[in-house]
Amino acid sequence: MSQTILKISGLKVAYGGIQAVKGVDLEIREGELVTLIGANGAGKTTTMKAITGLQGWAAGEVEYLGKSIKGMPSYELLKRGLVMVPEGRGVFARMTITENLKMGAYVRNDEAGIQRDIDRMFTIFPRLKERANQLAGTMSGGEQQMLAMGRALMSQPKLLLLDEPSMGLSPIMVDKIFEVVRDISAQGVTVLLVEQNARLALHAADRGYVMDSGLITMSGNAKDMLNDPKVRAAYLGE
């Protein structure tokens, strides 16, 4: 059986006097694609930031590869293969696409391997190859999302966290991004996906968690959740 790559126990996060996360338990095994769905303000992004060292937490434990990561800075987690593509993408607007991809590999020093992976990103995202020397800030939102995902993959993640990858994108671009998410998962990268489009997320995922008002209110097999009347009524608009 595959090992647990991430285990969250009793996680509580408060900031500005607000208890945003109220005691979350969540587990991801190696090779899984797990999605975390819920309404805006449910605490999903805060949970992601706590996992990646961008947000401290008041109580609970987060274990990555069997070890506590409490207080560990995000750059150290990146070296260990825990990588997030944040909501809003965060590309380096004044750098070219190729330069952005190289920034994703800054924790590596295998030049031949880095070049191989840049070529691989251009295979996964042909649109980036066409625009290799274009400044990232001049690209469309969908192209920037592709670049942000490609840059994250350049760091050779063991666990990839994706925060709202479809936000603000056209339907065609959303389909393309989800196709890539499924491909990344099929290649063996473990993925935690936070996504507002619950239907697409559950179709892509192996397992799902529902978060509401800072708590996990449901979890299970993603296909079962797609057919659950409560999930359908609350998150699939049925």
Domains with residue ranges and CATH for the chain: 31-54+73-235 (3.40.50.300)
CA–CA gap between residue 235 and residue 4 (Å, rounded):
28
Looking at residues 88-100, what average pLDDT do you find? 92
3-state helix, strand, coil in the chain (%, to 5): 40, 30, 35
Give the pLDDT score at 213: 92
Give the pLDDT score at 110: 93
Give the pLDDT score at 40: 86
Looking at residues 69-97, what average pLDDT do you find? 91
What is the model's pTM?
Answer: 0.93
Is residue 200 predicted with pLDDT exceeding 70?
Answer: yes
Give the pLDDT score at 216: 96
Q: Of all helices (H) and strands (E), which one includes residue 8? A: strand 4-15
Is residue 135 predicted with pLDDT exceeding 80?
Answer: yes
Phi-psi region of 177 (alpha: psi -120 to 50; beta: other; left: phi over 0): alpha
Is residue 41 predicted with pLDDT exceeding 90?
Answer: no
Give the pLDDT score at 238: 62
Is residue 1 predicted with pLDDT exceeding 70?
Answer: no
CA–CA gap between residue 199 and residue 181 (Å, rounded):
14
Give the pLDDT score at 193: 97
Looking at residues 181-191, what average pLDDT do you find? 94
Percent with pLDDT over 70 in the chain: 99
pLDDT category at 119 given cuts 50, 70, 90 is very high
